[in-house]
Amino acid sequence: MTIRLYDTSARQIRDFVPLTAGCVSIYLCGATVQAAPHIGHIRSGLNFDIMRRWFAYRGYDVTFVRNVTDIDDKIIKKSAEQGRPWWAIGYENERAFNDGYDALGCLPPTYEPRATGHITEMIEMMRGLIERGHAYEADGNVYFDVRSFPGYLELSNQDLDDLRQPSGDNETGKRDKRDFAMWKASKPGEPSWETPWGRGRPGWHLECSAMAHKYLGTAFDIHGGGIDLIFPHHENEIAQAKAYGDDFAKYWVHNGWVTMSGEKMSKSLGNSVLVSEMVKAWRPIVLRYYLGTPHYRSMIEYSEEALREAESAFARIEGFVQRVTEKAGETVAPATEVPPAFAEAMDDDLGVPQALAIIHTTVRQGNSALAADDKEAAVARLAEVRAMLGVLGLDPLDEHWAGESDRGDDLHGVVDTLVRLVLDQRQSARERKDWASADAIRDQLNQSGLVIEDSPTGPRWTLGPRQ
């Protein structure tokens, strides 16, 4: 058994060999909390949640660090626009992110450090870089000298002479326009901390280098994030950490975007779809299926139609789970191992689409067993399906999703009573052999979005795919 991952730095799929046998350490660039999360933000957390689950299934002891960037230019700008404290905005949106992660079934990280809690570590790293000749102070700012680090831009594969380094306001005193800020001198009204070079605040890139060092040490296995972070963020993280003396990340794994009309989903572009609104309109487990089942490196083009297709596909899986559970008369436990073909797909760069095809094939086999009244075979297939769904965080019988299977749980009792009245009318029609009336009632219910199934214990209704 060997897990293989696409390593951005090597530009190829590589066998995963952990630094410490039986252990895997992962650092994921998490939330920047200037605003509430859209589904593009949560996709990254969800993709790495699946990675983490697969490593755990394969027997690894996983340390998963996902940071919170609670101070940066964007948060300060929002504070000025809204007339609210920067920390209040950050905390409010940090909670919104965690609500989104939790709603879509992401396991909590091992550690979730905030940038502002690690100023001491940042100062220590800057001091070391200045002493080693890789950084310098100017006008209260501290800059990284990119020409001092020969490996700069190897991750993004750029030419230094053609580089256009993003710069913020008040970044004065640079020796080279391509140098980047690790620390920014304070401006009136902005948050600041005391350092040997004057009061100021951290640059975005420094935050992650310092936090990864603190929680994962001088070397760790996997650094993750969206492809938009490759440059400048991850490139600058590498420069700081390695110039400081760390080996830093062994593998670099990046997930694709969620796009709208071909553009990256972004708050600044005004094309974002907030998670808080999506979970009101769609079942969270369906959203997880929609965002988590494409390959992590692929782009997802957002559309209502694609969501409806995901809802319909998951309904087929869920319906099978419900039917076999009913026939078995008890909850069927997941199998202890997933099918070999599923494992092979997941080992190959987390091939979730191929793994999902195995799930649907197993569901079809289980449905055939049900049709043949082969209870033993149907139960065996359900055990396999539950094991596979569990790895993806999509098992509808998992306690996380308990009570979530119907939209609008608070209205479920009322709807159930009304539907039962109609079903009683249908049953009366069937008993008097008025098949036309019985079929008409069923068809009307189907048109309203309800799926009626006749089971050994009587008719059962579920919400079907949206029309």
Q: Which two tokens stand for residue 380?
A: 């065996």
Q: What DSSP state is assigned to residue 323?
A: H
Say if strands 23-32 and 61-69 run parallel, antiparallel, or are unpaired. parallel
Whole-angstrom distance, CA of residue 104 vs CA of residue 92: 19
| Three-state DSSP class for residue 104 | coil
| Positions of E strands within 113-155 | 135-138, 141-144
Whole-angstrom distance, CA of residue 207 vs CA of residue 250: 19
Other CB atoms within 10 A of residue 444 CB = 12
Whether the CB-CB separation of 63 and 23 falls below 8 Å is answered with: yes
Q: Give the distance from CA 60 to its chain's centroid.
A: 20
Cα distances (Å, whole numbers) of residue 111 to 48, 64, 66, 98:
14, 7, 7, 13
Q: Which two tokens stand for residue 89?
A: 């905005």
| Three-state DSSP class for residue 405 | coil
| Positions of E strands within 398-457 | 450-455
Whole-angstrom distance, CA of residue 223 vs CA of residue 255: 11
* Residue 293 main-chain phi, psi, to 5 deg: -90, -25
Q: What DSSP state is assigned to residue 114?
A: B
Instruction: Kindly tell me the burial class for residue 56, based on how many C-beta atoms sit within 10 Å of its own C-beta (0-12, 13-18, 19 or more).
Output: middle
Residues in the chain: 467
Whole-angstrom distance, CA of residue 125 vs CA of residue 208: 11
Q: Give the distance from CA 165 to its chain's centroid.
A: 28
* Residue 338 main-chain phi, psi, to 5 deg: -80, 160
Structure confidence at residue 39 (pLDDT): 95
Of 127, 161, 157, give the one whose Cα is nearest residue 243: 127
Regions of the chain with pLDDT less than 50? 406-411
Structure confidence at residue 413 (pLDDT): 53
Whether the CB-CB separation of 270 and 203 falls below 8 Å is answered with: no
Of 2, 1, 4, give the one whose Cα is nearest residue 351: 4
Q: How many CA atoms lie within 13 A of 456 on its CB side?
A: 9
Q: What is the dihedral of CA 257, 237, 86, 198, to 10 degrees?
A: -160
Structure confidence at residue 438 (pLDDT): 82
Instruction: Kindly tell me the burial class for residue 394, based on how many C-beta atoms sit within 10 Å of its own C-beta (0-12, 13-18, 19 or more).
Output: buried
Structure confidence at residue 430 (pLDDT): 84
Whole-angstrom distance, CA of residue 459 vs CA of residue 427: 9
pTM of structure:
0.87
| Three-state DSSP class for residue 304 | helix
Structure confidence at residue 12 (pLDDT): 98
Structure confidence at residue 458 (pLDDT): 65
Structure confidence at residue 381 (pLDDT): 98
Other CB atoms within 10 A of residue 337 CB = 11
Would you give the end-to-end CA distance of the chain in angstroms? 44
